Structure 1
Amino acid sequence: MKKSVLFLGLIYLIFISLGLPDSILGVAWPSMNGEFQVAASSAGIIAMVISMGTIFSSFQTNRMIQKIGVGNLIVCSIFFTVIGLCGFSISQNFFFLIISALPLGLGAGAIDTAVNDYVALHYKAHHMNWLHGFWGIGATMGPIIMGFYLKNQNWRGGYLILACLQFILVVIVFFSRKQWKQPREIPHSSEMQDSMLTLIKRPGIIFSLICFIFYVGIEACMGLWGSSFLVRVKDIPVATAAFMTSGYYASLTVGRLAAGFFTFFLSSRKILYLSELLLLGGVVVLFLGNGNLAAVGFIFTGLGSAAIFPTMLHETPERFGTKDSARIMSLQLALAYTGTTCLPPVLGFLAERFTLVIFPYLLILFGCILLVSTITLEKKVKRHQA
């Protein structure tokens, strides 16, 4: 029993480490930008390379699990993030930053996909919510660590200390790698030859992918454009807007930790419906409110968002069966990263032409698409399982 609790704690620790690098580029970029003398928008190039690496590794995760096992894959993937973070810390030009971004993305995508599938198969729904709550803890700690080093104008030290923390985790996971159960029997060669197109044709898969694209798109748009909306449209001071944005992430993290307890007496379907309605309600409050009411909108949106992503992930084996859950998980996460990469720039492009007044309108549209797709998905899966 004690051994299993320690192993679960290790899984949570892996997700804290996954969140650590995710939120530091934006914090460090003003200092990095001045040093490398590139356009402020160049951070988008680095973020896109990280996303491309993440998408690629997500698609390859199931194949790598079958070849080397889930434990070994996680060890290698965390080590890739160490290489990427070390690369950032020693970069002397912008091109080397781009090169370093690739292993960072490759490692993150494989960790995310492998651990999510493992928890979905071997643990209850509340653990999936708590898992993503621990990611939020890591995403909150990252800027704090980087901020400490930025006080001394030493962003390289921030990346280096994160690399050291990740390396310690590599050592810990290396010695526990044999404890990771192989998620499933290795499929026959004929099963491995099933095309991705065949997988997509399964009942409900398309609507599941739409859910992932638009949920993650909402989260990414809130993070990238929420503060600008408050400043430019609601006339809220920059420092106050930053605090409200941090409130969104805090409510997202707290909501995920709390949602784990709700799984004991609410079904996953009810949690998804209630969460998506709360998310839409939060955006409406954000749209109509000013000052403190706008802050309430941010918090409600974060609380509504909290349980959606982990619940959708945990439902994957239940909806589509355990045999193909890893491949479907890879596909879902790859499309989620695609939503992160594509939807915020789309919103930014439209905002340049119509101003950021359109921000809540698009979020409401994305939220409605998410809710309708979830309802349709549940109906199709229920009909198929009947």
Structure 2
Amino acid sequence: MKKSVLFLGLIYLIFISLGLPDTILGVAWPSMNGEFQVAASSAGIIAMVISMGTIFSSFQTNRMIQKIGVGNLIVCSIFFTVIGLCGFSISQNFFFLIISALPLGLGAGAIDTAVNDYVALHYKAHHMNWLHGFWGIGATLGPIIMGFYLKNQNWRGGYLILVCLQFVLVVIVFFSRKQWKQPREIPHASEMQDSMLTLIKRPGIIFSLICFVFYVGIEACMGLWGSSFLVRVKDIPVATAAFMTSGYYASLTVGRLAAGFFTFFLSSRKILYLSELLLLGGVVVLFLGSGNFAAVGFIFTGLGSAAIFPTMLHETPERFGTKDSARIMSLQLALAYTGTTCLPPVLGFLAERFTLVIFPYLLFLFGCILLVSTITLEKKVKRHQA
């Protein structure tokens, strides 16, 4: 019993570590882009490379599990993140940052897919919800760590601390790798391809995919460009902006951990609608707020975002049936990574042309698309199930 509890604790620790590097680029970038003498929008290129690595490794995860096992894959994947973070900490030019972004994305994608799949197979549903909450703990701690070092104008130190933490985790997981159970055989690749082509034609699938693209895109844009918006538009000091960004992820985490209690008296559909409206309200406050009051907008946006992603995943079997839910989930997650890849660079490109003043406007537009797609999705599913 004690051994199983410790192993479960290790799984939660892995997801905390997964969240740590996800949020520090946006916090450190106002200092980094000046040092490397590149445009502010160049952060979008780094984010795109990370996301491309994540998408590629996510699609290859099941194949790698069959070859080397879950435990060995997770050890290798965490070590890849160590290599990427170490590259960031010693980079002397922008090109080396791009090179370092690739192993960071490859490692993160494999960890995310492998651990989510493992928990879905071997643990109850509430652990999956809490797992995403613990990712938020890591995402909250990342900006706090980086903010501490930014006070001393030392963003490299923030990355170096993460290298040390991830390396310790590599050692721990290495000695526990044999405890990871090997999963069942997966379907043949050709069967998966045929299934995906037919699944896209199912009623509501397209709007579900749109929801994932724009929700995760909003979250990625908040993480990557939120600090820069506060620094360049709201005239907030870099270190203070870093802590405000951590407030967004803190509210995201608290909201996810608390959202489970709301499911006792609210339907998933109502939770989605209320969450998306709160998200839009937070963006409005972010736009109207001045100085430190802008932090309230970050908190409201985080609270509004909290329940959306887990609820959309949880609703998949209910909307589309249990038979194909696993394959639909993989398709949804692939599109979610696509949103992470595409929307932040788009925002960065437009910000380069029109300044970061457009940040809340685009977030509001993305949120409206998310809300309209959710409403349309619910109507199509309800009509199909009638």
Question: Which TM-score tier does this pair reach, normalised by the shorter chain?
Answer: 0.7 to 0.9
Measure the CA separation in 2 of the matches of 1:114 and 1:328.
Answer: 17
Q: Which moved more, 1:131-140 or 1:229-238?
A: 229-238
Cα distance, 1:216 vs. partner? 1.5
Deviations 1:286-306 (A, max 9, x none): 455556765433322211111
Measure the CA separation in 2 of the matches of 1:296 and 1:152.
Answer: 26
The structure-2 alpha-carbon separation of the partners of 1:379 and 1:46, relative to structure 1 and needing over 3 Å to count, comes to: same
Partner of 2:37: 37
Deviations 1:135-162 (A, max 9, x none): 2221222233345555666554543432
Where structure 2 has 5 or more consecutive residues not aligned to the other structure, the ranges are: none
Q: Which moved more, 1:85-94 or 1:301-310?
A: 85-94
The structure-2 alpha-carbon separation of the partners of 1:156 and 1:343, relative to structure 1 and needing over 3 Å to count, comes to: closer
The structure-2 alpha-carbon separation of the partners of 1:186 and 1:244, relative to structure 1 and needing over 3 Å to count, comes to: closer
The structure-2 alpha-carbon separation of the partners of 1:275 and 1:117, relative to structure 1 and needing over 3 Å to count, comes to: farther
Q: Which moved more, 1:142-151 or 1:55-64?
A: 142-151
Aligned pair count? 386
Cα distance, 1:234 vs. partner? 6.5
Identity, in percent, stands at: 98
Measure the CA separation in 1 of the matches of 2:293 and 2:31.
Answer: 33
Secondary structure at 2:265 match in 1: coil
Cα distance, 1:9 vs. partner? 1.8
Cα distance, 1:274 vs. partner? 2.2
The structure-2 alpha-carbon separation of the partners of 1:28 and 1:376, relative to structure 1 and needing over 3 Å to count, comes to: closer
Cα distance, 1:11 vs. partner? 1.8
The structure-2 alpha-carbon separation of the partners of 1:328 and 1:182, relative to structure 1 and needing over 3 Å to count, comes to: farther
Cα distance, 1:244 vs. partner? 4.4
Q: Which moved more, 1:281-290 or 1:131-140?
A: 281-290
Conserved in 2, the CA contact under 8 Å of 1:203 and 1:384?
Answer: yes
Conserved in 1, the CA contact under 8 Å of 2:146 and 2:242?
Answer: no
Measure the CA separation in 2 of the matches of 1:204 and 1:156.
Answer: 45
Cα distance, 1:78 vs. partner? 1.3
Secondary structure at 1:266 match in 2: coil
The structure-2 alpha-carbon separation of the partners of 1:149 and 1:298, relative to structure 1 and needing over 3 Å to count, comes to: closer
The structure-2 alpha-carbon separation of the partners of 1:265 and 1:303, relative to structure 1 and needing over 3 Å to count, comes to: same
Measure the CA separation in 1 of the matches of 2:187 and 2:72.
Answer: 19
Q: Which moved more, 1:338-347 or 1:99-108?
A: 338-347
Measure the CA separation in 2 of the matches of 1:326 and 1:67.
Answer: 21
Partner of 2:177: 177
Deviations 1:55-112 (A, max 9, x none): 2112222333344443333222112112222333444544333222111100111112
Cα distance, 1:187 vs. partner? 2.3
Tell me how large the CA RMSD over aligned residues is.
Answer: 3.5
Measure the CA separation in 1 of the matches of 2:141 and 2:230.
Answer: 24
Q: Which moved more, 1:311-320 or 1:348-357?
A: 348-357
The structure-2 alpha-carbon separation of the partners of 1:246 and 1:379, relative to structure 1 and needing over 3 Å to count, comes to: same
The structure-2 alpha-carbon separation of the partners of 1:240 and 1:87, relative to structure 1 and needing over 3 Å to count, comes to: closer
Conserved in 2, the CA contact under 8 Å of 1:126 and 1:259?
Answer: no
Conserved in 2, the CA contact under 8 Å of 1:59 and 1:327?
Answer: no
Measure the CA separation in 2 of the matches of 1:120 and 1:363.
Answer: 32
The structure-2 alpha-carbon separation of the partners of 1:171 and 1:205, relative to structure 1 and needing over 3 Å to count, comes to: farther
The structure-2 alpha-carbon separation of the partners of 1:75 and 1:244, relative to structure 1 and needing over 3 Å to count, comes to: closer
The structure-2 alpha-carbon separation of the partners of 1:254 and 1:353, relative to structure 1 and needing over 3 Å to count, comes to: same
Secondary structure at 1:271 match in 2: helix
Conserved in 2, the CA contact under 8 Å of 1:275 and 1:307?
Answer: yes
Measure the CA separation in 1 of the matches of 2:117 and 2:31.
Answer: 37
Conserved in 2, the CA contact under 8 Å of 1:210 and 1:370?
Answer: yes
Measure the CA separation in 2 of the matches of 1:77 and 1:161.
Answer: 18
Deviations 1:331-359 (A, max 9, x none): 32332222223223333444566665654
Measure the CA separation in 2 of the matches of 1:199 and 1:268.
Answer: 23
Q: Which moved more, 1:207-216 or 1:366-375?
A: 366-375
Deviations 1:206-249 (A, max 9, x none): 22211111112222333344456567767778776665444323
Conserved in 2, the CA contact under 8 Å of 1:129 and 1:311?
Answer: no
The structure-2 alpha-carbon separation of the partners of 1:81 and 1:291, relative to structure 1 and needing over 3 Å to count, comes to: closer
Cα distance, 1:17 vs. partner? 0.5
Conserved in 2, the CA contact under 8 Å of 1:27 and 1:143?
Answer: yes
Partner of 1:139: 139
Q: Which moved more, 1:144-153 or 1:254-263?
A: 144-153
Conserved in 1, the CA contact under 8 Å of 2:144 and 2:243?
Answer: no
Q: Which moved more, 1:3-12 or 1:73-82?
A: 3-12
Measure the CA separation in 2 of the matches of 1:114 and 1:150.
Answer: 33
In the alignment, does 2:210 pair up with 1:210?
A: yes
The structure-2 alpha-carbon separation of the partners of 1:251 and 1:319, relative to structure 1 and needing over 3 Å to count, comes to: same
Partner of 2:107: 107
The structure-2 alpha-carbon separation of the partners of 1:170 and 1:202, relative to structure 1 and needing over 3 Å to count, comes to: farther
Measure the CA separation in 2 of the matches of 1:99 and 1:231.
Answer: 27
Measure the CA separation in 1 of the matches of 2:137 and 2:283.
Answer: 24
What is the TM-score with the length of structure 1 in the denominator?
0.82
Q: Which moved more, 1:338-347 or 1:148-157?
A: 148-157
Conserved in 2, the CA contact under 8 Å of 1:247 and 1:299?
Answer: yes
The structure-2 alpha-carbon separation of the partners of 1:315 and 1:345, relative to structure 1 and needing over 3 Å to count, comes to: same
Q: Which moved more, 1:324-333 or 1:31-40?
A: 31-40
Q: Which moved more, 1:53-62 or 1:63-72?
A: 63-72
Conserved in 1, the CA contact under 8 Å of 2:212 and 2:336?
Answer: yes
Measure the CA separation in 2 of the matches of 1:174 and 1:94.
Answer: 33
Conserved in 2, the CA contact under 8 Å of 1:54 and 1:334?
Answer: no
Measure the CA separation in 2 of the matches of 1:384 and 1:49.
Answer: 39
Where structure 1 has 5 or more consecutive residues not aligned to the other structure, the ranges are: none
Cα distance, 1:124 vs. partner? 4.7
